[in-house]
Amino acid sequence: MGGLVVSLTYGGLLGSPGSHDSLAARIVAAASAGVFLVCALIAVRGATNDLVKLLTGRISDNRSAALRVICLLSGYGMVILGALSLVRVPWDKLLLGGALTGVILGIAAQPVLGNIFAGLVLLVVHPFTIGARISVQSGPLGGRIEGEVTDMTLLFIELHTDDGKMLLPNNAVLGAAIGPPSRGSAEPDRT
């Protein structure tokens, strides 16, 4: 809170609108905004950990992992925007630069982002649990895959099959038909 008050009092890194603040005042404002940023990030992390501990017995581990990621990302985003407001960074330039950067990064990281969002959906919706035997029917995965789910992350589902461990991308699993394994079928389905 002290960093917040000091930064606002000294007018931020770029100074108050229309003023010519001294270099010392700008340095003090920037340092106090940095203190606010660090302390607020620590507070977001602590609050997220407390929330997850509070809900530990009420929701599954996978859902608590998804809740942790969502809380941390939204909290960090708000803290960073608040710190930028404290140093009075012009929003119009940030929005243009952020939009261009977002488009470039979005195109470059499309497979990874698709897996992350699909992983969040799978962790929240919870169509199967760790330890469950499932059958995944998907053309992009090469047909039918049967096995036991041994791990679920934001990028992959780990499936232990008769052939060994397989990592299935979350976006392929989300778009696949998932059901119980076929009974007594030792041969793979060739449809």
Question: Can you tell me the distance from the alpha carbon of 33 to that of 84, in angstroms, rounded to the nearest whole number?
Answer: 8
Rg (CA), the chain: 24
Count of Cβ atoms closer than 10 Å to residue 29 Cβ? 26
Residues linked to residue 152 through DSSP beta bridges, in sequence order: 157
Share of the chain above pLDDT 90, in %: 9
Weakest-pLDDT range from 14-28, 46-60, 123-137, 163-177:
14-28
Backbone angles phi, psi at 160, to 5 degrees: -95, 110
> Nearest-5° angle of CA 58, CA 59, CA 63?
160
Handedness of CA 178, 180, 181, 185 (dihedral sign): negative
Tell me the per-residue pLDDT of 138-170, one tens digit each, with 9 for 90 and over: 887 788 889 999 988 888 899 999 889 999 998
Q: Which of 144, 129, 130 is nearest to 176 (CA)?
A: 144
Q: SS3 for 49?
A: helix
Indicate the pTM of the whole model. 0.50
Query: Has residue 191 got a pLDDT over 50?
Result: no
| pLDDT (mean) for 111-120 | 86
Lowest mean pLDDT among 1-5, 35-39, 126-130, 137-141: 1-5
Burial profile 111-128: b = 16 or more Cβ within 10 angstroms, e = fewer: eeebbbebbbebbeeeeb
